[in-house]
């Protein structure tokens, strides 16, 4: 595509050099530039992409997008805001793929990955071709790849959406993180449905306050439904959790049709008579398309919310309640979410991805409900992330656990020992005596100790890393999988 065609998408911009220069790809990271690419210089939070313009050109960049002139001899498109230009250019370059599929975006502090998996299971169960994008994986046609980010930057997002559209995808179901909304990664995407799971504390390192965090998530809804076309297949929906106070604000902001789900409040899709066991959950679901009794393999009240979101999203696509029920009931636990680790031991070991105070409250209160013996919890807090959530996570784990093994969870560039110390005030506040918790920076050792202490009827919950297969220390990712390590610890203990 010619540089001048991309320039024509931006009202206030100008070209320095030959506008007929052809670019064959788009890139925002100089280290990934290939010959013929257009390199966009983004002024980021850590560094300024303009500094890497020369490197990008050395690697073969045919042209640049810049906010100011740089001393490099290739044609340049000068824009006001290169992050905004990135979304506009990416959408145009890849031919607006989100218009060729029905996009379902899920935002919220917890439950995004789980809800997207459930929606995917129901829609694909009906024979629709689905694509999935989120924390664990990206699925395009039959190809599945692991992900490093929850929501991709606009250039990567649009490129993959193009691939999804090209393989004939009917529905793209994707997680939309608050970082993505705030940084404009999904600008230009046309969503059919925006789903809100819940809002509780996380990411205050980035957003600063809960108000700003709430507002970032609100962008998914405030951009939804502004155009009424009269066509039912072009209707847009804001699917909101009636039990979460933030929903009222999102309902006001959106022009889309608001549909609610919930348990405690009046809602369009509501669960009643909830019965939770360690094997699954039963509930009656009263909807605008009838009533049905569900028996799912997913454990916990929080998973009833995730199920309701998925049921409502599917009903809005015209799927019959019976069909929704049979697909949902067939779903097993999502990878690393209350996943059972079984190496023949006489007690239950679960690996879960709870890494926020509310996530831990949900996971642990659920476990507590069906534990006859003691709850032994292994957990930590991520480095280079919201520090204020650390004592809160300490407090909530202490509330539900009989023994706590406080350990590392991706210390990243921080001192692991200091992160543990940041957690302790919350444990102390809960009144847990010192002999019932240990600080063990080495996660393997912490898991081994918890497994060594467990007796029949106890439950060991290893929280925070779920599906992750690494432990990031000082910027280096070391192989580490809680499920594998737990199995090794069990085998070590029960070896004859
Ligand atoms: C806060 C945040 O999301 N920051 C992202 C953002 O960083 P930034 O704008 O500050 O960029 P920067 O690092 O200053 O770099 C500026 C520019 O220089 C470029 N550069 C940099 C170095 C170089 O050698 N060459 C080069 O070209 C970069 O590619 C970038 O375009 O853009 C970068 C490039 O795309 C991302 O790598 C970076 O993700 C950081 C590392 C990150 O950790 N993000 C996490 C918090 C995140 O996004 N998490 C959410 C999930 C949250 C949830 O679970 O709810 C997610 O969606 O994954
Ligand atoms: N609806 C929910 N409400 C509260 N907690 C939940 C909910 N669903 C899941 N959780 C808890 O949060 C953890 C993470 O769930 P999930 O991966 O689905 O969330 P997510 O929003 O995708 O997280 P991330 O922001 O890291 O992508 C689970 O392991 C569980 O402990
Ligand atoms: N998407 C979340 C995941 C946190 C997972 C936890 N294991 C950690 O590293 O803190 C984040 O980037 O904050
Ligand atoms: Mg996720």
pLDDT tens sequence across 437-488: 999 999 999 999 999 999 999 999 999 999 999 999 998 999 999 999 999 9
Pairing of the two strands 459-463 and 375-379 = parallel
Per the DSSP assignment, residues forming a β-bridge with 352 are 463
Residue 67's φ and ψ, nearest 5 degrees, are -95, -20
pLDDT tens sequence for the chain (496 residues): 999 999 999 999 999 999 999 999 999 999 999 999 999 999 999 999 999 999 999 999 999 999 999 999 999 999 999 999 999 999 999 999 999 999 999 999 999 999 999 999 999 999 999 999 999 999 999 999 999 999 999 999 999 999 999 999 999 999 999 999 999 999 999 999 999 999 999 999 999 999 999 999 999 999 999 889 999 889 999 999 999 999 999 999 999 999 999 999 999 999 999 999 988 999 999 999 999 999 999 999 999 999 999 999 999 999 999 999 999 999 998 999 999 999 999 999 999 999 999 999 999 999 999 999 999 999 999 999 999 999 999 999 999 999 999 999 999 999 999 999 999 999 999 999 999 999 999 999 999 999 999 999 999 999 999 999 999 999 899 999 999 999 999 999 998 6
Q: Which of 329, 348, 363 is the last residue of a domain?
A: 329
Write the CATH number for 253: 3.40.1190.10
Tell me if 304 CB under 6 Å of ligand 2. Answer: no
Residues 19 and 38 both lie in one domain: yes
Closest Cα partner for 117 from 336, 394, 389, 379? Answer: 336
| Ligand 1 atom, smallest distance to 49 CA | 18
Q: Which residue is closest in CA terms to ligand 3's atom 9?
A: 382
Q: Is residue 296 part of a domain?
A: yes
Residues 243 and 359 both lie in one domain: no
Instruction: Output the pLDDT for position 475.
Output: 87
Q: Is residue 361 part of a domain?
A: yes
Give the separation between CA 421 and CA 439, rounded to whole angstroms.
Answer: 8
Domain assignment of residue 79, given as a range: 3-93
Residues 153 and 277 both lie in one domain: yes
Alpha carbons within 13 angstroms on the beta-carbon side of residue 74 total: 25
DSSP string, 231-276: -GGG--EEEEETTSTHHHHHHHH--SEEEEEESSS--SEEEEEEEE
Residues 108 and 226 both lie in one domain: yes
Q: Which of 32, 63, 93 is the last residue of a domain?
A: 93
Tell me if 366 CB under 6 Å of ligand 2. Answer: no
Write the CATH number for 17: 3.40.1390.10
Q: Is residue 187 part of a domain?
A: yes
Give the separation between CA 421 and CA 387, rounded to whole angstroms.
Answer: 11
Residues 323 and 451 both lie in one domain: no
Q: Is residue 188 part of a domain?
A: yes
Closest Cα partner for 191 from 199, 201, 182, 181? Answer: 181
Per the DSSP assignment, residues forming a β-bridge with 357 are none
Residues 34 and 148 both lie in one domain: no
Residues 139 and 72 both lie in one domain: no
Residues 313 and 410 both lie in one domain: no
Write the CATH number for 361: 3.90.190.20
Instruction: Output the pLDDT for position 495.
Output: 84
Instruction: Output the pLDDT for position 333.
Output: 83
Q: Is residue 393 part of a domain?
A: yes
Give the separation between CA 24 and CA 2, rounded to whole angstroms.
Answer: 9
Sequence-ordered list of residues with C-beta below 8 angstroms from that of 34, at least 6 positions apart, any chain: 25, 27, 59, 60
| Ligand 3 atom, smallest distance to 386 CA | 13
Closest Cα partner for 119 from 247, 282, 307? Answer: 307
| Ligand 1 atom, smallest distance to 149 CA | 58
Q: Which residue is closest in CA terms to ligand 3's atom 1?
A: 150
Instruction: Output the pLDDT for position 496.
Output: 64
Residues 180 and 85 both lie in one domain: no
Provide the 3-class DSSP secondary structure of residue 78: strand
Q: Is residue 8 part of a domain?
A: yes
Query: What is the ipTM score, two decimals?
Result: 0.96
Residues 86 and 107 both lie in one domain: no
Burial class (CB in 10 A: 0-12, 13-18, 19+), 134: buried
Burial class (CB in 10 A: 0-12, 13-18, 19+), 272: exposed
Provide the 3-class DSSP secondary structure of residue 301: helix
Count of domains forming the chain: 3
Q: Which of 295, 329, 363 is the last residue of a domain?
A: 329
The pTM of the full predicted model, rounded to 2 decimals, is 0.96
Residue 410: its H or E element: none
Residues in the annotated binding site for ATP: 108-114
Residues 105 and 89 both lie in one domain: no
Q: Is residue 309 part of a domain?
A: yes
Q: Is residue 334 part of a domain?
A: no
Residues 318 and 346 both lie in one domain: no
């Amino acid at each position: 595509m010619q540089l001048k065609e991309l320039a024509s998408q931006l009202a206030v911009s100008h070209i320095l050099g030959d506008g007929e220069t052809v670019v064959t790809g788009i890139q925002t990271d100089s280290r990934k530039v290939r010959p013929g690419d257009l390199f966009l210089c983004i002024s980021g939070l850590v560094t300024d992409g303009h500094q890497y313009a020369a490197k990008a050109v050395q690697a073969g960049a045919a042209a640049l997008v810049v906010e100011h002139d740089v001393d490099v001899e290739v044609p340049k498109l000068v824009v006001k805001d290169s992050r905004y230009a990135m979304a506009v250019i990416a959408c145009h370059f890849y031919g607006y793929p989100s218009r060729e599929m029905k996009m379902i975006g899920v935002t919220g502090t917890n439950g995004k990955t789980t809800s997207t998996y459930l929606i995917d299971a129901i829609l694909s169960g009906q024979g629709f071709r689905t694509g999935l994008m989120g924390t664990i994986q990206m699925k395009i046609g039959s190809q599945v790849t692991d992900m490093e980010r929850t929501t991709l930057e606009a250039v990567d997002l649009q490129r993959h959406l193009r691939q999804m559209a090209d393989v004939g995808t009917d529905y793209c179901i994707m997680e939309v993180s608050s970082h993505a909304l705030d940084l404009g990664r999904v600008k230009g995407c046309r969503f059919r449905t925006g789903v809100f799971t819940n809002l509780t504390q996380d990411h205050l390192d980035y957003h600063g306050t809960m108000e700003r965090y709430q507002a970032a998530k609100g962008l998914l809804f405030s951009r939804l439904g502004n155009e009424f076309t009269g066509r039912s297949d072009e209707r847009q929906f804001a699917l909101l959790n009636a039990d979460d106070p933030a929903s009222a604000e999102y309902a006001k902001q959106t022009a889309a049709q608001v549909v609610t789900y919930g348990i405690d409040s009046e809602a369009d899709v509501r669960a009643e008579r909830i019965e939770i066991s360690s094997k699954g959950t039963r509930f009656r679901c009263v909807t605008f398309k009838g009533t049905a009794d569900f028996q799912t393999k997913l454990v916990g009240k929080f998973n009833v919310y995730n199920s309701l979101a998925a049921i409502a999203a599917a009903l809005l696509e015209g799927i019959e309640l019976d069909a929704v029920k049979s697909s949902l009931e067939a779903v097993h636990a999502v990878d690393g979410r209350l996943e059972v680790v079984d190496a023949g031991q006489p007690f239950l070991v679960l690996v879960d991805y709870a890494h926020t105070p509310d996530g831990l409250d949900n996971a642990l209160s659920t476990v507590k409900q069906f534990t006859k013996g003691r709850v032994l919890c292994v957990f930590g807090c991520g480095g280079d992330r919201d520090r204020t959530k650390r004592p809160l996570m300490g407090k909530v784990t202490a509330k539900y656990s009989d023994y706590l093994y406080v350990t590392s969870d991706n210390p990243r560039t921080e001192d692991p020992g200091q992160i543990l110390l940041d957690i302790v005030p919350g444990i102390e506040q809960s009144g847990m005596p010192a002999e019932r918790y240990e600080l063990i920076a080495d996660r393997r050792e912490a898991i081994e100790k918890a497994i060594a202490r467990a007796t029949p009827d106890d439950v060991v919950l290893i929280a925070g890393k779920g599906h992750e297969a690494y432990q990031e220390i000082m910027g280096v990712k070391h192989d580490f999988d809680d499920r594998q390590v737990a199995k090794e610890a069990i085998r070590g203990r029960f070896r004859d």
